[in-house]
Amino acid sequence: MSIDPATHRKLAVDANNATWEILGKELTEISDDDAEEMTRRAYAAAYHWQRAEGASPANEARASWLLSRVWVVRQNGELALHHARRCLAVCESAGLVDFDLAYAHEALARSFAALGNAEQARHHLAIAREVPITDTEDRKLVEADLAGEPWFGLGK
């Protein structure tokens, strides 16, 4: 059975939003079953974004960011870092700046924090904070996310 690109787009959005149903919980409220389901949803979103109608490099970068965040929440720094690096690579190759570039560095910062590499975590956190973001609401969103956990004890 073949799925058309418009359906892939709908499924990507649905899987992305479904991932946030779990990511939006307090970290202490995410059960092992939730963590497994969240992971499946994030990979499903990435799969469908790759095949979606009108998909852009921003969708690819954001799918990689989402996977990185899921693995940070699951405290797997290696997998988080893999997806964070992919997010940054997509941003750089596609010329994505602003919101997406800030989040690529946020993902790297959290991944390095999960791995216990405070120096690299602080380096990328500083870059995330310095990325120029045109839209005021986007800037507020980035700042709020940077203020939230998990940072694995990194003194921000």
Q: How many whole angstroms separate alpha carbon 20 and alpha carbon 60? A: 17
Start-to-end CA distance of the chain, whole Å, equals: 49
CA geometry: angle at 58 spanning 60 and 70, to 5°?
A: 55
Q: CA-CA distances (angstroms) from residue 123 to 23, 111, 144?
A: 25, 12, 19
CA geometry: angle at 148 spanning 151 and 115, to 5°?
A: 15
Confidence at 156, pLDDT banded by 50, 70, 90 = low
Tokens for 152? 């694995």
pTM of full prediction above 0.85: yes
pLDDT in tens, 68-104: 999 999 999 999 999 999 999 999 999 999 999 999 9
Q: How many whole angstroms separate alpha carbon 140 and alpha carbon 45? A: 25
pLDDT in tens, 9-54: 999 999 999 999 999 999 999 999 999 999 999 999 999 999 999 9
